[in-house]
Chains A and B, each alone.
Chain A
C-alpha cells in the first residue's frame, strides 16, 4: 500500500465516521434526546468537529512511498467524482429539505451544518472513488507494481 492509498483509506474512514456522528447528532437533536438549551454539549460537539478536519490535513504527512503518475491520474478522477457527488448531494439535500416535514422554513442552524457536511461528503466520495480505482478498476496495475 503506497502513500496515496493510505491517505485515501484514512480520509475515507475519517469522513465516514464524521458523517455517521453528524447524522447521529442531527437525529438526536430532532428526536429531542439532546437538550436544546444545553449549549455546553453543542460547544463540545462544535470543537470536536474540527478534529476530523485536522486529521485529514495531517494525513498528508503519513509515511509511505511517494506518488507516481498512476496515483496522480487516480487522484484526478476521484477529485472529479467528488465534485459531481457533492453537487448531487446538494441537489438531493435541497429536495429533501424542500419536501420533508420542515414546513415552509428551515432553521438557520442548518446552514453551518450544510457547509460542514458538504465538505465531508466530498472527502468521502473522492476517497471512496480513489479506493475503488486502486482495488477494483486498476487492480492489475497495483499488483504489477508491487
Chain B
C-alpha cells in the first residue's frame, strides 16, 4: 500500500466516523429539542477534518520518485469522478429543495441552507475522491496480478 492509498484510507475512515456520529447525534437530539437545536449534532462533521492531515501523518515513500505517470492519471480520474459526484449531489439538492418549496408555495429559505448544501458537496468530493482512488488502485493491482 503506497502513501496515497494510506491517505485515502484515513480520509474514508474519518469521513465515515464523522457522518455516522453526526447522524446519531442529530437523531438523539431531535426528539428532545427539535430543530434548530438538534442541528448542533452536525458539529461532529468536524472529525472529517482529521482526514486532511493525512500528508502529515504518513511519511513520504523512500526513493527519489514519489509518484509516476500512472499515479497522476489515477489521481486525476479520481478528482474528476469526485467532482462529478459532488456536482451531481449539489444539483440534486438545489433542484430538490427548489421543487419541494415550489410545490409547497414557499418563496424563501433560510440563508443557513447554503453553507449546508456547499458543505455537503465538499464532503462528497473528498470522500468520493478517496473511495475512487482506492477502487482504481485495487483494480490496477488486480490487473497486474
Interface residues of A (CB under 8 A from B): 76, 79-80, 83, 86-87, 90-91, 93-94, 97-98, 102-109, 111-112, 114-115, 118-119, 122
Query: At the interface, yes or no: B111 with Cβ under 8 Å from chain A?
Result: yes
Q: List 27 A-B contacts (CB under 8 A).
A: A76-B76, A79-B76, A79-B80, A79-B83, A80-B76, A83-B125, A86-B87, A87-B125, A94-B115, A98-B111, A103-B111, A104-B111, A105-B109, A106-B109, A106-B113, A107-B107, A107-B108, A108-B97, A108-B98, A108-B106, A108-B109, A109-B98, A111-B95, A112-B94, A115-B90, A115-B94, A118-B90
Which listed residue (B79, B98, B110, B118) contacts A112, Cβ 8 A?
B98
In the bound complex, residues from chain A placing their C-beta under 8 Å from that of B106 are 108
B contact patch SS = helix
Cα distance A87–B79 when bound, in Å? 13
In the bound complex, residues from chain B placing their C-beta under 8 Å from that of A102 are 111
A90-B118, A90-B121, A114-B94 as given contacts; A105 in contact with B87, CB under 8 Å: no
In the complex the two chains form, is A97's CB within 8 Å of B108's CB?
Answer: no
Q: A90-B121, A115-B95 are in contact. List 17 more A-B contacts (CB 8 A).
A: A90-B90, A94-B114, A94-B118, A97-B114, A104-B110, A105-B109, A106-B108, A106-B109, A106-B113, A106-B114, A108-B97, A108-B102, A111-B94, A111-B97, A112-B94, A114-B94, A115-B91
A contact patch SS = helix
In the complex the two chains form, is B94's CB within 8 Å of A105's CB?
Answer: no
In the complex the two chains form, is A91's CB within 8 Å of B118's CB?
Answer: yes
Cα distance A80–B114 when bound, in Å? 24
In the complex the two chains form, is B87's CB within 8 Å of A118's CB?
Answer: yes
